[in-house]
Amino acid sequence: MSDIQYPLRGACQCGQLRYTLYAAPAKVVACHCKQCQKLSTSAFSITALVKADDVAFEGELAEWQRVAESGNKNYAKFCPQCGNRIYHYNPDAPEMIKLKAASLDDTRILQPTVHLWVSQKQDWYCIPDDVDVFDTQGGV
């Protein structure tokens, strides 16, 4: 994906919140856990792991918090107007965020190289052969 030129711009559904991504993600991950299926209302959720310093946000964000079964803190930032999730983060590791990059204007970076929680994936979805696969959290 060397033809992608940074920075990239993104926004929530209503446009109240905009952001700029200044550098490529460390990883792009597809998570198949039941929580991500609920979040995405689809078979999995795609997340770009980015350095918090590599993204700038403009507009109001609201926050929602939950603790995962593993005990990890999973906080979510979202648009208070349209409800669109923008990113997740762990307050104990704030240097990295989990950007919900489908909100980018240019989504070519959304090519997952890691699939997590495949033990909970939808039976009809076939994972590509050339990616890392983990039954649970693994690889991230």
Domain boundaries, the chain: 8-131
- Three-state DSSP at 67 gives strand
119: region left, alpha or beta (phi > 0 left; psi from -120 to 50 alpha): alpha
126 CB neighbour count, 10 Å cutoff: 7
Q: Average pLDDT in the 23-39 region?
A: 85
- Strands 73-78 and 62-67, by their bridges, are antiparallel
**CA-based diameter of the chain, in Å?**
40
pLDDT-derived band at 32 (thresholds 50, 70, 90) equals confident
Could you identify the residue written with the tokens 């990883």? 27
**Residue 133: its pLDDT value, please?**
83
Res 73 pLDDT > 60: yes
Fold of domain 8-131: 2.170.150
Q: What's this model's pTM, rounded to 2 decimal places?
A: 0.84
Res 26 pLDDT > 80: yes
Ramachandran angles phi, psi of 109, nearest 5°: -75, -10
Res 140 pLDDT > 70: no
Pick the residue with more confidence: 129 or 39?
A: 129
Can you point out the beta strands (E) in 34-79? 45-51, 55-58, 62-67, 73-78
**Residue 58: its pLDDT value, please?**
97
pLDDT-derived band at 9 (thresholds 50, 70, 90) equals very high
Q: Average pLDDT in the 40-54 region?
A: 89
Are 23 and 70 in contact by the 8 Å Cβ rule? The answer is no
Could you identify the residue written with the tokens 């550098």? 23
pLDDT-derived band at 2 (thresholds 50, 70, 90) equals low
Give the Cα separation of 63 and 75 in Å (integer).
7
Ramachandran angles phi, psi of 120, nearest 5°: -115, 10
137 CB neighbour count, 10 Å cutoff: 14
Structure tokens, 45: 């959720």
